[in-house]
Copies of this chain bind each other. A is one copy, B any other.
Amino acid sequence: MRFCSACGQTVEQSVPPGDNRPRYCCAGCGTIHYQNPKMVLGTVPVWGDQILLCRRAIEPRYGYWTLPAGFMENGESTSEGALRETIEEAGAQIEMGDLFSIIDVPQIEQVHLFFMARVLDSRFDPGPESLEARLFTEAEIPWDQLAFRTVTQTLRWYFEDIKAGGCRLHHSIVRYEPKPRP
């Protein structure tokens, strides 16, 4: 950030009165520009003993597999955002279930939330952000080709919970280290 989005003057980093950390502050109009973490919302779409994954058509992690997920938009609830992303990325018809995982990723200033979802029709229509969308049994999951650690962790929890008799909500922190590019 170099310029004030309210008045166009250059901004400087300084600690505002009563605050305790540097912010982008505009000396012209007085606006303080706070920067905060973003939420990523997704689903664990279940069809019998299979899970729906999408292969990414965009960076980061082009060509890797992911649960359908993306940034939360203003004006929507977390569940609405997760449903929207699943429609946009997989073209899947789903019924939303309960919140299943919350994973903090402080290094990249994100919190990822995944909801359980029931796939209603096994025909998919992947959007422009996905190369393909298909169902995987646990044995078929491409563990070494998953795009993000939060996806790997969420899938592990899902298959553990299923074996243990039922899904419960999980919360953890991923200290994110990007994998090498393909």
Contacts and interface: CB of A to CB of B under 8 A. Distances in A.
Q: Could you say how many copies of this chain the assembly holds?
A: 2
A148 to B, nearest CB: 17
Interface in A8-35: 8, 10-11, 18, 20-21, 24, 33-35
A102 B99 contact: yes
Interface string A33-60: 1111111000000000000000000000
A153 interface: no
Interface in A83-125: 88, 98-99, 102, 104, 106-107, 109, 111
A111 B39 contact: yes
B18 A7 contact: no
A92 B80 CA distance: 36
A78 B104 contact: yes
Of A18, A34, A74, chain B has the most CB atoms within 10 Å of the CB of A74
Contacts of A104: 77-79
A145 interface: no
B71 A34 contact: yes
A1 B98 CA distance: 35
A4 interface: yes
A28 to B, nearest CB: 11
A36 B5 contact: no
A73 B8 contact: no
A169 interface: yes
Contacts of A72: 36-37, 111
A125 to B, nearest CB: 15
Given A8-B10, A37-B73, A76-B106, 8 more contacts: A5-B33, A34-B71, A36-B72, A39-B39, A72-B111, A75-B109, A98-B171, A99-B171
